Chain A
Amino acid sequence: MRWMDEFAREELAKGLIDRIHRLAQRLGRPITIMEVCGTHTVALFRHGVRAALPKNLRMISGPGCPVCVTPNEEIDTAIEMALKPDVILVTFGDMVRVPGSRKSLADARIEGADIRVVYSPLEALDIARANPERQIVFLGVGFETTAPTIGATINQAASEELANFSVFSAHKLVPPAMRALVLSGEVGVDGFMLPGHVCTVIGARPFEFLADEFGIPGMVTGFQPLDLLQGIAMLLDQIANDRHRIEIEYTRIVSREGNRQAQAILEKVFTPGDASWRGFGLLPSSGLHLSPTYSQFDAKRRIEVKIPPPVEHRGCRCDAVIRGALEPEECRLFRKVCTPEYPIGPCMVSSEGTCAAHFKYGEAQHPHPIEPPLEVKP
């Protein structure tokens, strides 16, 4: 695995860390960069990048953990579906322990629901073929990154005329959430570290509004240690020179236009529609629904469930953490009541959740104290 060493070379890292410190010093004021993607949040901690950053540079996490932004309403619905005796609910592992209003899928599994964890949605088709008498529901949670593979799976199911397979699409689109985040003015952000995987599919262009309309620079960044450092350095360079463009650090994978084939699948199988987000509420055209041609694969149409009104856990501040308005340590439940073993909110469950990352890797080691959020920029 040569590339993994290539992207973690110590001497190059030192050079980039120096450059970041010089730029931050030149800026001479508190700088806030939001990493939008949960994978970035974890990578920044895991590779020790946060600990190497200057004191006046603050990294905050944005709405980029798909499990975290899934509202209770959708989790509750999935649980009700799973509890139907003829249903096998298939999902990615991250969703299983996320608490809904009253229970999690893991609790439902203990109660007898048949819930299977897969690593590829195509495995759900194997399960469907092997269990023709059962209804197989795939719980599709994710952003533009995972949606194409789910789309391809639906396409495959259609070509095989699999009658017992459907998808509960809880997919969300990142750019509309970013627009809502910036429009709210709740969090002052000097620059965005943009999600490398999402942009692999949709390209960098859908994020250009951040620079064009709001004057905030963005950097599409990869996930290896040197990517992270280079992305931060390039962003600081823009901020220091008063430039605001959407640039790509992750050029070995991401283009302006993205992956046309993946986009074609999305367009074929899904249609954008309203979606409800934890942290934002209902955002127009921010979710992917099944397009009319594929409506027979829509679990929401096929499996009828009624759920009691969703309720939020009192005191849980995942909504504010998702918007970057609150650091996990500022939540009263963090570490005291809410822990990875007994998570209250999704940000503590998901491996990409901000609270889980802060719990696991410890802000104690972080060189700078938590400062109150910076003032909102005009």
Chain B
Amino acid sequence: MRGFITLFHKEVMRFWKVGFQTVLAPLLSTMLYLLIFSHVLGKHVEAFPGVPYVSFLIPGLAMMALLQNSFANSSSSLIQSKITGNIIFLLLSPVSYPEMFLAYVLASSLRGIIVGCGIFAITLWAVDIPLKYPLWALIFALTGSFILGAIGIIAGIWAEKFDQLASFQNFIILPLTFLSGVFYSIHSLPPFWQQISNLNPFFYLIDGFRYGFFGASDSSPYFSLFVVSICLAAVSLITLWLLKSGYKLRN
């Protein structure tokens, strides 16, 4: 247990020590998205009936930032440790693989949630956003950050170079987040793209999260929770198996 607490604490310190880059920078870039999209589309789009576009956009952007930062935390920590070689200090210790899993995932989740909360904190004074079902919002925020934290571990273990990790981020994580309904309701899409969106697990994370705010969503929150729970179980099992087997770590 002490090993888990130490690794979790170390991972939190690691991103907190460079908070300018790990917390403030994503806050700034997300605010730029908000500024541009709300200015360009704010007067033309109404995603949900009676919900202004900027209000619709903010939870989606917060969730997108939460997901991307959760992924970035565990993946960047692992790849840096592997490339610089200091991963061996952890591998030489008696910390078990479930402890490693939990510590990396929870630290990633914390960073994602801090960034997500930061976005709400900044926009709160300017935009009125209801919070109809906070528990739903919390469940999806936690589940999303856990999933991306675990995927970050998988990517960090798999990648041997920074450009491989960048490819994982640019060709998998970024398209999945951008095409998940952050900026639009999928009902505004043609039927074909709606069906494609239904295959994107990130869509259910954002849609379920948004339900917590507006009580309205493209898909049933129960179905979304079912999908994301399956995803969480699957990525957790894969990550635990990789850590247990020592794949690309203990060789």
A binds B: no
Residues of A bordering B, CB below 8 Å = none
Residues of B bordering A, CB below 8 Å = none
